[in-house]
A = this chain, B = another copy of it.
């Protein structure tokens, strides 16, 4: 069992706000390391999402199930990403999403109350969470725009270009449902591209 260092997490924190050593330690003391096995769920509908999760190692997928039983991927997360059911977490209401490990993983968790205390304790902590929320809002809006303006194939191309590492690590049906198409259609898109190259 290799010891997964938290170095990347500290870098991640410092990249956004220039914390002092003391501050970094206070932040770290609010996080708990946790090992999650492949196929294990860390969030499920009906339960309240109690944590914000940083991925140290591994990969996760958040998805919802619609009225007709279809799965729709809302988010992926690999190393150095955060994942949760955002609405459930910030409003502390029952989740609508599943969040499941796609591989054996290691995460760092902060629970809701600790986060509140941290934000209240010091302006700089608040700043850090404000920046995270801003970036998240901006990201979600870009996704809305992409869904409205791009065709299925264009969305796939965009995704491959922006997140080539994720494409290789997640099952195709999960990617298809993230991009808003069926797995069959994504299969056709990919196949067409292979043919073109020859």
- Report which of B64, B133, B144 forms a contact with A134, defined as CB distance below 8 A: B133
Residue of B nearest to A147 (CB): B147
A148 CA to B178 CA in the complex, in Å? 8
A50 contacts the other chain (CB 8 A): no
Which residues of chain A (41-75) have a CB below 8 Å from chain B? 64, 66-67, 70, 72, 74
**Contact status B90-A138, CB under 8 Å:** yes
Q: Does A117 contact B (CB under 8 A)?
A: no
Q: How many copies does the complex hold?
A: 2
Q: Give the shortest distance, in Å, between A113 (CB) and chain B (any CB).
A: 16
A119 to B128 Cα, complex, angstroms = 12
**Which chain B residues lie closer than 8 Å to A141 at the CB level?**
74, 86-87, 140
Query: A74 CA to B143 CA in the complex, in Å?
Result: 11
Q: Out of B66, B137, B149, which one reaches A137, CB within 8 Å?
A: B137
Contacting pair B86 A145 (CB below 8 A): no
Contacts of A144 in B (CB 8 A): 74, 140, 143-144, 147
A180 touches B148 (CB 8 A): yes
Q: Is the CB of A145 within 8 A of B74?
A: yes
Contact partner, A86, options B67, B87, B138, B148, Cβ 8 Å: B138
In the complex, how many residues of chain A place their beta carbon closer than 8 angstroms to a beta carbon of chain B? 36
A–B pairs, 15, beta carbons within 8 Å? A66-B150, A67-B149, A74-B141, A74-B145, A86-B137, A86-B138, A87-B142, A90-B134, A96-B145, A122-B123, A130-B130, A130-B133, A133-B136, A136-B137, A140-B141
A127 within 8 A of B: yes
**A153 contacts across to B, CB distance below 8 A:** none
Closest to A142 in B: B87
Q: Known pairs A64-B145, A64-B149, A148-B180. 15 more at Cβ < 8 A? A: A64-B148, A74-B144, A74-B145, A86-B137, A86-B138, A90-B134, A96-B145, A123-B126, A126-B127, A126-B130, A133-B134, A133-B137, A137-B137, A144-B144, A144-B147
